[in-house]
Chain A
Amino acid sequence: MTLLDKMTQQQRMLLAIVLSILFFVVYDFMLPKPKPLPVDANATAVTQSATTPAANSAPAAVSNAAPQAAAGSASAPVQTKAPAQTPAAESNTIAEVHTKDYHMYIDALGRVSKFEVLIEKFKTAEGKLPNLVSADAPVKPLEIRFSDPKLNNEAFKTEYTANQSKVVVSDKQTVLTLTQELSSLTVIKEIVVKPDGTYDVSVKLSNPSEYFISPGFRPDEQADMYTFKGVLIRKADGTIETIEDGKAQGNEVFMKANIIAASDRYFTNAFYDFQNGFDVYITKDAKEDPLAFVKGQQEMKLHVYSGAKDHEKLKSIDPRMTDIIEYGFFTFLAKPMFLILKAIYDFVGNWGWAIVITTILLRLVLFPLTYKGMVSMNRLKELSPKVKEIQKKYKGDPAKMNAKMMELYKKHNANPMGGCLPMLLQIPVFFAIYRVLLNAVELKHAPWIGWIHDLSAMDPYFILPVLMAGTMFWQQHITPNNITDPMQEKIMKFLPLIFMFFFVTFPAGLTLYWFVNNLFGVAQQYYVNSLFAKEKAAKKG
């Protein structure tokens, strides 16, 4: 700590800036940078030049393809929608696919009508599995809509045939072929079921005709107001664009995108192609929810992933796929926070302990600061008669009292306050952990010890909020403050109580973080106190 004492004001300033910038930036660098695509240079050029004409023609093209888009073409779209909802087509399953990861059911219109993911922790007590294609989804995965309204109409009335009704895949990929005979052309959809939990779909038309194929509507398993639900596009240049439910314009076009993912909190239905990319067209339904489509001409091949937004799983498909995991505004902090937690989790095997260890690590990073503060605080104890004098003299004039106190602190180079910067740094950390707990599927149903079976849900027995409030009070009790306004002092005394009720509904993992953070604050204080006492004893001896 003598090093810190010897530093000049400027050096310290620099150190403080570097520390705080480090905090935000370094982790960002730790993230794997998106690899430049081989087609990137061309792709961006194409995007640039193609955007304008495409954007102009898009609404027309899309409105033909999608229902409810334009009032002018109402007759055709309404009809396209109608057959899609006839129970006959819905209930007619023409093919089933079973793998170790999912059960997929194809209906008579060649679409995925039901997609159950086999994730043990999401299985309900009755054995029900999460279904990523809800029965009332406005568009289903692999649904094809033609630009030509007549053709589209016919397509929604003509049933597909499948070359086999049941496909079971364990370790060898299998092809399921769906065929639709229309008056002017034949549609062949080949579904290549792969053992790794993904599948490919290739569409071939016997005659060229413009069409749109959808990755489906977002899953409706865990759709709530706290987390993102809607469509996410990873554009040609690797940047992410999100269109939230209820906020779709209905005419967004993204040329040469490489991911289109319709997601709820934990699950996604996604197309991806990092080699060639595809052109994404977004329309909207009556609720202004985005409906995603990829435009095709005659032949096209797409990779499909439907399932949980599991970091490891997505990374094994392609590291860029992890961009599908969306933490909202705080993604830039939440993502590194997740990676830190994940790294520790891989080591200790429990998310609760991973949170505890992360908290300790954060404390350690800030320890030089805290230590210096605490040492000077102890120096202050010798000043306490003077402090009392000032308090007495300027009672009822808080501003003046503060000024006098600060004068005293500066004179004796002892300042008991922690400072605004360490306090403000807590806020982003807090939000990052909060977002991770809300969004990361790995944290769902993740136990800690004993009574905590799900860190992402509230503590069912309110033990953690009570512990948190208790340690908060304790810490407050042993930490000096310069609040002189009696009203504020009262509020402060009640703060732990307010926080307790505030935290009751928060994810248990967040309360755990805050509790451990408080606990180490208290422990740190006592530790430094004892160090100081020893130092003093040594001096005397």
Chain B
Amino acid sequence: MRKPFLALLTFYQKFLTVLGYGSCRYYPTCSEYAKWQFQKNNLFLALFHSTLRILRCNQLFPGGIDYPVVKMNLNFKRVCYHNANANKIIVQFWLVPKEGNSFYLIKTFKRK
């Protein structure tokens, strides 16, 4: 279910984002924010938060750094990294505890 959303967002980032000539006021950008949300949050919440984010993305708000907050049960088996090979773990996201089972979602910068 989350795949079509992610595909749509990737398409938007690749081809359509130039139309708005990179006008987003935030890091991560709205589309990136939505992508992370759809990757790690439940679908409904992801949709909700992404919509709110776009509504917030205007001159009435200061903008700046605004990481997604996701709800996650850490006992749950869906881990936040993927195995590149058996010995090396490549971290994709950091979860910074906010409250209860809410976490700030922070993506690592790409290594060169």
Closest to A499 in B: B19
* A424 engages B63 (CB within 8 Å): no
**Which of B24-32, B40-48, B77-85, B87-95 participates in binding chain A?**
B24-32
The verdict on A447 contacting chain B, using a C-beta distance below 8 Å, is no
Choose from B26, B55, B59, B110 the contact partner of A17 (Cβ within 8 Å): B55
The verdict on A369 contacting chain B, using a C-beta distance below 8 Å, is yes
* B58 engages A413 (CB within 8 Å): no
* B22 engages A481 (CB within 8 Å): yes
* B58 engages A415 (CB within 8 Å): no
What 0/1 pattern do residues 100 to 125 of A give for CB contact below 8 A with B? 00000000000000000000000000
* A16 engages B61 (CB within 8 Å): yes
* A488 engages B17 (CB within 8 Å): yes
The verdict on A397 contacting chain B, using a C-beta distance below 8 Å, is yes
- Cα–Cα distance between A121 and B73 once the two chains are bound (Å): 68
**A-B contacts, CB under 8 A, total:** 124
The verdict on B54 contacting chain A, using a C-beta distance below 8 Å, is yes
The verdict on B57 contacting chain A, using a C-beta distance below 8 Å, is yes
The verdict on A150 contacting chain B, using a C-beta distance below 8 Å, is no
Given A20-B55, A424-B54 in contact, is the A369-B23 Cβ separation under 8 Å?
no
- Cα–Cα distance between A482 and B78 once the two chains are bound (Å): 34
Closest to B65 in A: A406
Closest to B107 in A: A399
- Cα–Cα distance between A479 and B56 once the two chains are bound (Å): 21
Choose from B22, B30, B52, B59 the contact partner of A488 (Cβ within 8 Å): B22
The verdict on B4 contacting chain A, using a C-beta distance below 8 Å, is no
Which DSSP category, helix, strand, loop or mixed, fits chain B's interface? loop
What 0/1 pattern do residues 403 to 439 of A give for CB contact below 8 A with B? 1011101110101011111111000000000000000
The verdict on A331 contacting chain B, using a C-beta distance below 8 Å, is no
* A482 engages B24 (CB within 8 Å): yes
* A419 engages B25 (CB within 8 Å): yes
* Chain B positions within 8 Å of A7 at CB level: 60
* B64 engages A420 (CB within 8 Å): no
Choose from A12, A16, A420 the contact partner of B30 (Cβ within 8 Å): A420
* A419 engages B63 (CB within 8 Å): yes
The verdict on B109 contacting chain A, using a C-beta distance below 8 Å, is yes
Residues of chain A having any CB pair with chain B under 8 Å: 4, 7, 9, 12-13, 15-17, 20, 369-370, 372-373, 376, 396-397, 399-400, 402-403, 405-407, 409-411, 413, 415, 417-424, 476, 479, 481-483, 488, 491-492, 495
Residue pairs across A and B with Cβ atoms less than 8 A apart, 25 shown, are A12-B61, A16-B60, A396-B112, A399-B109, A405-B27, A406-B25, A407-B65, A415-B63, A417-B22, A418-B58, A419-B24, A419-B25, A419-B58, A419-B63, A421-B56, A422-B23, A423-B23, A482-B24, A483-B22, A488-B17, A488-B18, A488-B22, A492-B18, A492-B21, A495-B18
Residues of chain B having any CB pair with chain A under 8 Å: 17-30, 52, 54-65, 107, 109-110, 112
